[in-house]
Structure 1
Amino acid sequence: MSAEDWSPSDLPAVSYIRVAPTTTDEAAHEVERQRAQIALATDRLGLRMADEFVDVGYSGLSMDRPDLRRLLDHVAAHRVGYCVVATRDRLSEDPEHMADIDETLDDALVAIVIAADHTGPEQDEG
């Protein structure tokens, strides 16, 4: 199939979750919160999730994150339509690093989807 014959909507999505250094219980809760937000947005947009990349205990100011590297390598090697994150700062909190991530994803024809933009305001479920 040539590049003209496919569109990102035909391709799978991947997700990226990052949790800053915190306690184990807080980290587990935050991973699940982000995962749920991503799942809700993915459902609402009709995306097919193929892979998940999770970095726990890493600062958003560093590019030295194992699953971020795996994600960037994955999109370079596989056709992926979307990278879904709970909020943009999960990818990076450093503007220069974010520009590098944007460029890598753009080069791979991967659109960043911010789940928070598609799930509405967070609500306390309980």
Structure 2
Amino acid sequence: MKKVVFFAFQGEEMCFLHLLFNAIDMHKKGIDTKIVIEGKSTALVKTMTEKNNPLFKQVIELNLIDSVCEACSKQMGVYDFIKENTNLTFNGDLLGHPPMEPYINSDYEIITL
């Protein structure tokens, strides 16, 4: 089975929405799909939650979000919001950030946006 993990870094909402479109599409087509929310995109968790964005709700319902960067969410000022308002998991295994190495060792193709 093909395996893909998206690492979202950019804080641009349109870029993030396109990542969500593609993750949902790949999942529906049978590809093992995960999303890691990193960098400035951690702030979009708050934005998408407050807007009740249907695409964001769908990736949560499909359990596609593997983790959110602990360090970046703190840097972007959204750590407490995410912790208190979502069930998303933080990862800070690599100096506060989610490492790519475990995905590579599990044969995931990494796509960064």
Q: TM-score range by the shorter chain?
A: 0.3 to 0.5
TM-score (norm. length: structure 2)? 0.39
Higher radius of gyration, 1 or 2: 1
